Structure 1
Amino acid sequence: MRLHRNLCFSVIDGLTLIFNEGKYADKVIQQLLKRDKRWGARDRAFVAETTYDIVRWKRLYAEIAEVKEPFDRENLWRMFAVWATLKGIKLPDWKYFEGTPLRKIKGRFDELSKIRKFKESIPDWMDEIGRKELGDAVWNKEIAALNQQADVVLRVNTLKTTKEKLQTELFDLDIETDFLENHPNALKLKERANVFSTEAFKNGYFEVQDASSQLVAEYLNVQPGMRVVDACAGAGGKTLHIASLMENKGQIIAMDIYDNKLHELKRRAKRNGAHNIEPRVIDSTKVIKKLYDKADRVLIDAPCSGLGVLRRNPDAKWKLQPEFIDKIKETQQEIIQQYSRMVKVGGQLVYATCSVLPSENQEQVEKFLTSEAGTNFKLIKDNKVLSHKSGFDGFYMALLERKA
């Protein structure tokens, strides 16, 4: 591979924004890719994947390059040189790479690869919490899996098309996909491609949604005609899946504390042809109380650490703090205590997170079931999805039923 100066400069500019200004990696990369209309697919892929790669391995590369935050541009070029050397890419004769110690880089890599927190490039506290909650053997495999690049998985919108038809339509555009076992509406791309520019996307035939995330709506056991509450709907990825499973029949009340996310959900619902969704902003406890004992199904896709989705959000490793996890666990319990009251007798509730930590998952469900609010519920089943076993994001989901 030959390095091109303008592409490398874009990567360095992006890393400056992500590491030194706290910008979100996905937003930065979106902006970078608009820089030069002459860039082809390979150029764009280089900028996006190299930026993500250096973000993912920040701690390891910084340690090898012997640089510390905040990183000036010279430091970032040194980290870039480490990335290129470890990838086997020949460094061009540019001033930024003068005196790069190639043999030392490889030696330091071998040395640091014996220590998990460097090998997997994670903060000390994250390594400690993973080891403590999952045990060394499982955490070794899980954090390694969470450092792999995520596959692109589509969820077919069955309100508008079928899996077979969409696969054929994408094949005609040279986008090849595979079916996934135990994921009835999923198509996995064989190679990364810009699916958002396709007519199929603009027509609402699919959403991009990880295979593990697609399991959550299925877990809810919805039927056409039900009243369903998606209590932490966000921009509505799972809400839209529920709408397709309900065949647009019945009512879905999509709730969130953020009005702007619900506006995005409305836009996506229109594109998807989902007509049975009613967004409601949670601006007071009254919004929840009005629905006490009224819902056949309630989905609580709870706010969480997001440790199960590090593959697609590698910068979260550096933004997340241990205090946040302590705080979010309190919020999770408050939400399940309050929102569970919307389930009517005989109705069902799914509590889900995109975390792999038992303290955010099964321990929260156990705590709820032994509380006063939880005595009316029983656990039907739960599913602990680990990335190293599934090959997709880490997730947790528990199905609870309200007893008579």
Structure 2
Amino acid sequence: MKRYPNLVAGVLEVLEWSFGKGWYADRVVDKVLRANKKWGARDRAFVAQHSYEMVRWWRLLWALLGEEPSLKRKKLKELFELYWAWQVEGTLVLPEDLPLGVRESYPAWLDARADAALGAQWPALAHALNQPAQVILRVNTLRSTRERVLERLAAEGIEAEASDLRPEAIVLSKRPRLQHLPSFQEGWYEVQDGGSQCIAPYVDPQPGDRILDGCSGAGGKALHMAALMQNRGEILCMDIEAYKLGEAVKRAQRAGVSILTTKHIVHTADVLERGAWADKMILDVPCSGTGVIRRDVDTKWKLLPEHLERTLEVQARILQRYPGALRVGGRLVYATCSILPEENEAQVEAFVKAQPQFSLEEMVRISPAHAHSDGYFVAVLTKNDHV
């Protein structure tokens, strides 16, 4: 594989912005590609692929170079040469005695925390989270079927096949740009990780249900629930970020979903203004994102211990306040994209202890070490009429 100086410079620019200015790698890659419109598809793929991989292996690469991280262009060029010898040419073999945190390239604090929490599970998880993520689609069953979507993608020149993770899941062999395709514009599918597609079914959404999506974001799981409900019932999407709710509305229009409404949360009282009305509730809470590191490669470098502590507090507050909007007999689903027990089992156990009206039905981990998906946690609880 050839490497042209201007493309290598593009990769190094991504590293400078990501580690020097705190930008997320995908934003910097997009910025660099937009600034170099003459680059062809292969050039763009080169810059994107090698930028993400160098971010992924940042700690390991510097350890192999034997130096402390530096953003000086000369040092970054040396780092690229080492990376190229290892990942592309295969002329560099990793030492066998590297500690796990270095070999799998995690910050020391996160490696120590995950090792203490997960024990023997951590090595396999650490490795799995470094595998590049596939592009997974969720078929919008309000618009089409998996068979028809596969046929249409083939006609549009996209290589795809059915996934065994979910009946609606399709996996792409490459990473094409989908937004310009008629099949995407007509709402035949959404881009959604296979593990993420497993979460909405735990809510058990049925036609006619009234469902509160308390941390909706851009509405990915709400759209999935709407399809499972055959677009009959009500889904209220709440979030503290108004722009995300705006995106959810746009996606719903494209998907042919008419039962989705939104509410921007400004004060906690906004959540409870309708009383205990919801039949079912999903709280896909803000989290560390440690379960999606393979997809968001620089999450592990942006996350800090103090960020995690604040996130734990936010999760506890959401669990304390939002379930008041759930009717007696209702179903509560708590979900994260984290691998850390303190955000998952520990939060749920503390909630049940503090709120004995709720009984725990099941807890499920979706592990990247055992499935071709990101890492997720799901807990299902019931709100009872007695304490």
TM-score tier, shorter chain, comes to: over 0.9
Range with bigger deviation, 169-178 or 334-343: 169-178
Aligned with 2:118 (options 109, 125, 134): 134
Aligned-pair distance for 1:260?
A: 1.3
Q: What's 2:15 paired with?
A: 15
Aligned-pair distance for 1:34?
A: 2.3
1:397 aligns with 2:367: no
Aligned-pair distance for 1:131?
A: 0.7
Q: Distance in 2 between matches of 1:387 and 1:88?
A: 25
Q: What's 1:271 paired with?
A: 254
Deviations 1:207-235 (A, max 9, x none): 11100111111110011111111000111
Q: Distance in 2 between matches of 1:182 and 1:208?
A: 14
Structure 1 residues 298 and 88: CA distance shift in structure 2, 3 A = closer
Length, aligned pairs only? 385
Q: Distance in 2 between matches of 1:289 and 1:265?
A: 21
Q: What's 1:27 paired with?
A: 27
Q: Distance in 2 between matches of 1:74 and 1:63?
A: 17
Contact 2:70 2:76 in 1 (8 A): no
Contact 1:225 1:246 in 2 (8 A): yes
Contact 1:258 1:281 in 2 (8 A): yes
Structure 1 residues 368 and 77: CA distance shift in structure 2, 3 A = same
Q: Distance in 2 between matches of 1:51 and 1:362?
A: 35
1:147 aligns with 2:139: no
Aligned-pair distance for 1:71?
A: 1.1
Range with bigger deviation, 265-274 or 311-320: 265-274
TM-score by length of 1: 0.92
The code of the aligned residue for 1:392 comes to S
Aligned-pair distance for 1:247?
A: 1.7
Name the SS for the 2:34 alignment partner. Answer: coil
Aligned-pair distance for 1:138?
A: 1.0
Aligned with 1:110 (options 80, 87, 95): 95
Contact 2:232 2:259 in 1 (8 A): yes
CA RMSD of aligned residues (A): 1.6
Q: What's 1:93 paired with?
A: none
Q: What's 2:297 paired with?
A: 314
Deviations 1:52-102 (A, max 9, x none): 000000011122223434411112111111111112439xxxxxxxxxxx8
The code of the aligned residue for 2:99 comes to I
Aligned-pair distance for 1:18?
A: 0.6
Deviations 1:33-57 (A, max 9, x none): 2233343332221111100000000
Contact 1:2 1:89 in 2 (8 A): no
Q: Distance in 1 between matches of 2:38 and 2:152?
A: 27
Q: Distance in 1 between matches of 2:44 and 2:201?
A: 35
Aligned with 1:219 (options 202, 217, 222): 202
Q: What's 2:236 paired with?
A: 253
- Structure 2 gaps of 5+ residues are none
Aligned with 2:221 (options 221, 238, 256): 238
- Structure 1 gaps of 5+ residues are 91-101
Name the SS for the 1:223 alignment partner. Answer: coil
Range with bigger deviation, 175-184 or 299-308: 175-184
The code of the aligned residue for 2:17 comes to L
Contact 1:356 1:394 in 2 (8 A): yes
Q: What's 1:94 paired with?
A: none
The code of the aligned residue for 1:130 comes to A
Q: Distance in 2 between matches of 1:300 and 1:15?
A: 35
The code of the aligned residue for 2:209 comes to M
Q: Distance in 2 between matches of 1:35 and 1:333?
A: 43
Q: What's 2:175 paired with?
A: 192
Name the SS for the 1:381 alignment partner. Answer: strand
Name the SS for the 1:241 alignment partner. Answer: helix
Aligned-pair distance for 1:182?
A: 4.3
Q: Distance in 2 between matches of 1:168 and 1:49?
A: 28
Contact 1:299 1:350 in 2 (8 A): yes
Name the SS for the 1:384 alignment partner. Answer: strand
Contact 1:155 1:207 in 2 (8 A): yes
Query: What percent of counterpart residues are identical?
Result: 39
Q: Distance in 2 between matches of 1:66 and 1:89?
A: 20
Aligned with 2:360 (options 379, 386, 390): 379
Aligned with 1:336 (options 308, 319, 334): 319
Range with bigger deviation, 58-67 or 245-254: 58-67
Range with bigger deviation, 204-213 or 326-335: 326-335
Deviations 1:149-171 (A, max 9, x none): 00110011111111111110011
Q: Distance in 1 between matches of 2:274 and 2:81?
A: 57
The code of the aligned residue for 1:119 comes to R
TM-score by length of 2: 0.96
Deviations 1:262-285 (A, max 9, x none): 111122222112111111011012
Q: Distance in 1 between matches of 2:165 and 2:85?
A: 40
Range with bigger deviation, 198-207 or 149-158: 198-207
